[in-house]
Amino acid sequence: MENMPGHTYDAKVLLRVYISLLVLAGGMILISRVPLEAIGLEWIDLHVLKGLVILGISLVMGSIVAGFLMGLRYETSRLNSLVFLANFAFLALFITFTWADVNFRGLLDPSFTKQLNWESPVIKANENPAAEHHGE
């Protein structure tokens, strides 16, 4: 069996992965429904904290999928793991350049910021009496 390609799927491991993903998804949804006003803590921004916890759980879920369902945990070829991890280096590059662009746009050429001259369709819809009032 050692010469067989890939790893062997185990029913128990797959079931545990499935249940843990369900539990994590349930936890993520439950946390999102917690009414923060009732807690009454003022020295910390609970909205930011809640958002970070929810996104943290989603990252854990993603790691479980990548590790067990995509088989990175059993990967014998380091090249495949390298390809996967290199993505995050590229993502960091995307984030850095976009962050720099968003925060420092117009610093060298102030007229550049005025080039984005668009009319808000939301304001137009509110001004137009014929538009349907949303009621979802």
Partner 1 sequence: MAETIVPQEHEVAHHFDDLEQEFQSHRMGMWLFLASEIMMFGALLVGGFILMYRFPGAFAEGRAHLDWRLGTINTFFLLTSGYTMALAAMHGQRGNQSAVRRNLWLSLLFAAGFLVVKFFEYSAKFHHGTLPGKYFTAAGFSDPHAHVFFGFYFVATGLHVLHVLIGMGLMVWCLFVSRKVKFTRAYITPVEMSGLYWALIDLVWFILFPLLYLVG
Q: Which residues bind partner 1 (CB under 8 A)?
A: 1, 3-6, 8-11, 14, 17-18, 21-22, 25, 28-29, 32-33, 47, 50-51, 54-55, 57-59, 61-62, 65-66, 69-71, 77, 79-80, 83-84, 86-87, 90-91, 94-95, 98-99, 102, 120-123, 125-126, 128, 131-136
C-beta of 72: minimal distance to partner 1 in Å? Answer: 9
Residue 86 has a CB neighbour count (10 Å cut-off) of: 10
Nearest residue (CB) to partner 1, 42 versus 136: 136
The residue assigned the tokens 């007229």 is: 111
- SS3 for 46? helix
What's the number of CA atoms in the CB half-sphere (13 Å) around residue 33? 6
C-beta of 112: minimal distance to partner 1 in Å? Answer: 17
* Host H or E run for residue 37: helix 36-39
Nearest residue (CB) to partner 1, 47 versus 114: 47
Distances in Å between the alpha carbon of 128 and those of 7, 106, 123? Answer: 61, 34, 9
